[in-house]
């Protein structure tokens, strides 16, 4: 079976193995926003909130979640924030999907995807808007699927852009995306062992070749992932995470890669760490703006102010890294 058929037949609850001891493990991730539900200005009790969510999921849906898989980031200076502003945000990750695998097995090959999405949609609908009473202090919970986990939503977006264009931009011929952007993955997982802790072009190319033939590749530090200056989340150490941009030679390979990367986390053999990365598709022509900006200015630049944007695109060109086997060999000894 070719790699395309393998990727197409992969169920949403099945893992996918990559090179370098990496694998993609299925998950259900939900973004959480916590607002005040009364006049209190008390900060949310993180431990009580987590216990409340864990008990609810276990009792109402037979879903097991551990405390470590619920992340809460509280906002500073609640007394200075508007009453309608949230007091905290966070995420919840469900990794134990064994119960769901058995349920999906009864749906048949054609109904698995629909059944899974319907189940997830139902969980979100029940939790969104739920009121939490944490020992007399009331909060309102808002729940949503991350955009990077909503493959159907992203597909609808690029189909609409291709069909109708963007507001303020001229209509263009139908274009199919071919580039994915991955953020928040550990740099050392894409580095050459015993050579450097920085991500390597060669290693990264080898890993993502599992999805198909690669046309362009760019890897760099990603220090601002998930940062919010108004949160009590501590300081991030630079260089720990990287941003990976992969352009495939065909839309089909891009399509399959994005679908597999959606709704999964990255793990490495021998490590207890898990990367709940962010993935999306390239809306702005990351490589085209640098490599073919003259042509792209006709397609994507607004109808006014083109000259000012060209200088910006020109600056971008020097930052784009193109992959070739020769480049990879040179970088291997320069990391």
Q: What span, in angstroms and rounded, lies between the C-alpha atoms of 257 and 151?
A: 11
Q: Are 257 and 180 in contact, with CB atoms under 8 Å apart?
A: yes
- By DSSP bridging, strand 22-26 and strand 28-36 are unpaired
pLDDT of residue 197: 85
**Architecture of the domain made up of 25-145:** 2-Layer Sandwich (3.30)
pLDDT (0 to 100) of residue 165: 64
Average pLDDT for runs of 10 along the chain of length 335: 71 93 96 87 87 95 94 80 84 91 71 89 96 90 96 93 62 72 95 88 96 95 63 54 95 95 96 94 85 40 37 41 47 43
What the block records as the tokens of 36 is: 């005040």
Handedness of CA 213, 219, 223, 224 (dihedral sign): negative
Per-residue pLDDT at 61: 92
In CATH terms, the superfamily for domain 150-332 is RRM (RNA recognition motif) domain (3.30.70.330)
Distance CA 31, CA 48 (A): 18
| Residue 212 confidence (pLDDT) | 95
The whole-number pLDDT of residue 104 equals 76
CB neighbours of residue 242 within 10 Å: 24
Q: What is the pLDDT of residue 9?
A: 81
Q: What is the pLDDT of residue 162?
A: 79
Indicate the domain borders of the chain: 25-145, 150-332
State the pLDDT at residue 113: 87
In this prediction, residue 329 carries a pLDDT of 43
DSSP-H helix ranges across 134-233: 151-164, 201-208
Q: Whole-model pTM? A: 0.79
Tell me whether the CATH fold assigned to 25-145 matches the one assigned to 150-332. Answer: yes
Amino acid 309: pLDDT? 39
């Amino acid at each position: 079976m070719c790699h395309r058929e393998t990727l197409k037949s992969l169920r949403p609850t099945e893992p996918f193995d990559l090179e370098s001891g990496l694998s993609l493990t299925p998950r259900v991730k939900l973004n959480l926003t916590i607002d005040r539900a009364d006049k209190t200005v008390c900060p949310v009790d993180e431990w009580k909130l987590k216990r409340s969510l864990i008990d609810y999921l276990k009792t109402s849906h037979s879903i097991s979640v551990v405390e470590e898989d619920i992340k809460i980031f509280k906002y500073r200076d609640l007394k200075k924030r508007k009453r309608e502003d949230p007091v905290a945000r966070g995420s919840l990750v469900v990794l134990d999907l064994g119960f769901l695998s058995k349920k999906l097995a009864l749906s048949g090959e054609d109904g698995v995807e629909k059944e899974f999405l319907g189940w997830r949609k139902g969980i979100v609908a029940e939790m969104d808007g739920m009121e939490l009473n944490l020992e007399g202090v009331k909060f309102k919970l808002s729940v949503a699927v991350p955009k990077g986990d909503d493959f159907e939503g992203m597909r609808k977006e690029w189909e609409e852009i291709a069909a109708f264009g963007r507001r303020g931009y001229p209509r263009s011929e139908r274009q199919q995306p071919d580039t994915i952007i991955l953020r928040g993955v550990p740099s050392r997982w894409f580095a050459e062992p015993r050579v450097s802790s920085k991500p390597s072009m060669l290693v990264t190319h080898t890993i993502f070749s599992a999805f198909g033939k690669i046309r362009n590749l760019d890897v760099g530090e990603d220090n601002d992932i998930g940062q919010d200056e108004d949160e009590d989340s501590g300081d991030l150490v630079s260089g720990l995470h990287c941003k990976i941009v992969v352009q495939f030679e065909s839309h089909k390979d891009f399509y399959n890669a994005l679908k597999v990367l959606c709704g999964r986390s990255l793990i490495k053999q021998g490590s207890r760490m898990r990367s709940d990365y962010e993935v999306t598709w390239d809306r702005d022509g990351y490589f085209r703006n640098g490599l073919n900006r003259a042509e792209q200015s006709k397609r994507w630049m607004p109808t006014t102010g083109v000259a000012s944007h060209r200088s910006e695109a020109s600056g971008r060109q020097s930052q784009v890294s193109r992959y070739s086997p020769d480049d990879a060999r040179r970088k291997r000894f320069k990391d």
